[in-house]
């Protein structure tokens, strides 16, 4: 059976798809393993690749985490890893260990498929070297995301690799009909395989406050016991309080990003469905904000970036399924069974 390499971009839910597929393959009598050539650490709270921890635990893999995820990198990895061949040797030695024991191996891509291209360890290069089939898992929010999907498909085809197909994942409900209709038809008319569309499900895709804190760092002023709150929306407090009230009331379970000196805005946000206040500019809030946040049980994070930088950084925030999150793990399997052509995937891997 061929091994399967999942590629995509941040927020596309590669690991959730990998998890659901692995559990389904196990139900069907296979012995799936997991491998992530290039991982990343979550930042302030974590010092290991959490996707690797999840899959090692759920699949009961005996290999240590350094074998399952042999490299972890950040935005400036070139200076830290000065020997490309040493990195390559480490990745492929670990892969051989996993591939010798499990069938198939589900290979999880990093945040973007081109990461570590400087060392020849981008997703497409690795898939080519190990002969894995490629499954694109893409997040669709607009037409440009669909263009990105076609671009990836055409590039993979130009490289002569085995493109298994495409799963569109984490789709906002308003986009679901268009994705299942127009995008699916356009994809197939372009000669590429459509394998399913998974709607956004808050239990899997909505990040927690902890995951925002992981990426942003800063100071947690209150609410350390409620970092498990889900964040389903983000509101940037750039308008006057009168203009903002309707937006504050409409957003559910939201993160509100404002300057630390905007006490009026912060207090108004705390009277609505707010999961976390993110205060920018290193400006400590008025005591009334801290007091009310404690009463409401809303975490407050103070960061020393300006608002623009803070917004840029939260684009890196993604929801991670934890090993003990039985509901999310069950939903990952349910998504594959209900929304994806998993029989076709198995058929293609066995061909």
The dihedral through the CA atoms of 5, 18, 191, 114 has a sign that is negative
pLDDT 10s digits, 7-52: 998 888 899 999 999 999 999 999 999 999 998 765 444 457 889 9
pLDDT average, residue stretch 49-63: 94
pLDDT average, residue stretch 230-255: 77
What confidence score (pLDDT) does residue 233 get? 86
pLDDT 10s digits, 292-311: 999 999 999 999 999 889 98
The verdict on 301 and 336 lying in the same domain is no
Q: Which residue has the higher pLDDT, 13 or 75?
A: 13
The verdict on 345 and 200 lying in the same domain is yes
The verdict on 80 and 183 lying in the same domain is yes
pLDDT level of residue 244 (50, 70, 90 thresholds): low
What confidence score (pLDDT) does residue 240 get? 65
The verdict on 85 and 97 lying in the same domain is yes
The verdict on 253 and 299 lying in the same domain is yes
The verdict on 121 and 145 lying in the same domain is yes
Q: Which residue has the higher pLDDT, 249 or 115?
A: 115
- 116 conformational bin, left if phi > 0, alpha if psi -120 to 50, beta if neither: left
The verdict on 305 and 200 lying in the same domain is no
Tally of domains within the chain? 2
Q: Please tell me which of 23-32, 254-263, 312-321 the model is most confident about, judged by mean pLDDT.
A: 23-32
Assess whether pLDDT exceeds 50 at residue 151.
yes
Query: For the whole model, what pTM was predicted?
Result: 0.78
CATH code of the domain containing 135: 3.40.50.300
Hunting for tokens 């268009």 — which residue is that? 178
Quickly list DSSP for 174-204.
HHHHHIIIIIHHHHHHTT--EEEEEE--HHH
The verdict on 90 and 146 lying in the same domain is yes
pLDDT level of residue 275 (50, 70, 90 thresholds): very high
What confidence score (pLDDT) does residue 45 get? 44
The verdict on 125 and 161 lying in the same domain is yes
The verdict on 8 and 131 lying in the same domain is yes
The verdict on 333 and 261 lying in the same domain is no
The verdict on 163 and 231 lying in the same domain is no
What confidence score (pLDDT) does residue 214 get? 87
CATH code of the domain containing 253: 3.40.1390.20
Question: Within 10 A of 338 (CB to CB), how many other CB atoms are there?
Answer: 12
What confidence score (pLDDT) does residue 142 get? 92
- Closest alpha carbon to 259 in 314, 311, 307, 209: 307
Name the residue range of residue 280's domain.
209-314
According to DSSP, the residues that pair with 277 across neighbouring strands are: 256, 300
pLDDT level of residue 121 (50, 70, 90 thresholds): very high
């Amino acid at each position: 059976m061929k091994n399967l390499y999942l590629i995509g971009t941040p927020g596309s839910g590669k690991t959730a798809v990998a998890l659901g597929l692995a559990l389904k393959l196990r139900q069907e009598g296979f012995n799936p393993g997991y491998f992530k050539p290039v991982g990343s650490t979550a930042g302030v709270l974590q010092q290991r690749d959490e996707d690797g921890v999840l899959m090692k635990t759920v699949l009961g893999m005996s290999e240590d985490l350094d074998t399952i995820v042999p490299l972890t990198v950040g935005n400036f990895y070139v200076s830290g890893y000065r020997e490309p061949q040493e990195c390559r040797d480490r990745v492929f030695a670990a892969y051989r260990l996993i591939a010798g024991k499990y069938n198939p191996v589900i290979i999880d891509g990093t945040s973007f498929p081109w990461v570590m291209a400087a060392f020849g360890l981008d997703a497409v290069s690795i898939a080519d070297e190990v002969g894995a089939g490629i499954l694109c898992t893409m997040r669709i929010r607009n037409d440009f995301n669909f263009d990105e999907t076609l671009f990836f498909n055409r590039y993979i085809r130009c490289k002569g690799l085995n493109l298994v197909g495409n799963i569109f994942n984490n789709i906002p409900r308003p986009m679901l009909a268009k994705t299942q209709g127009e995008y699916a038809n356009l994809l197939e008319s372009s000669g590429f395989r459509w394998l399913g569309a998974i709607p956004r499900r808050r239990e899997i895709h909505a990040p927690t406050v902890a995951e925002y804190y992981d990426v942003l760092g800063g100071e947690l002023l209150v609410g350390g016991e409620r970092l498990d709150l889900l964040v389903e929306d983000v509101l940037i407090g750039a308008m006057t309080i009168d203009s903002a009230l309707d937006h504050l009331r409409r957003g559910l379970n939201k993160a509100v990003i404002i300057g630390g000196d905007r006490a009026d805005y912060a207090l108004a946000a705390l009277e609505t469905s707010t999961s976390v206040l993110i205060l920018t500019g290193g400006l400590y809030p008025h005591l009334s904000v801290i007091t009310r946040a404690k009463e409401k049980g809303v975490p407050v994070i103070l960061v020393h970036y300006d608002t623009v930088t803070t917004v840029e950084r939260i684009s890196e925030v993604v929801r991670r399924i934890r090993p003990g999150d039985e509901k999310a793990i069950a939903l990952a399997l349910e998504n594959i069974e209900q929304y994806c052509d998993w029989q076709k995937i198995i058929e293609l891997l066995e061909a």
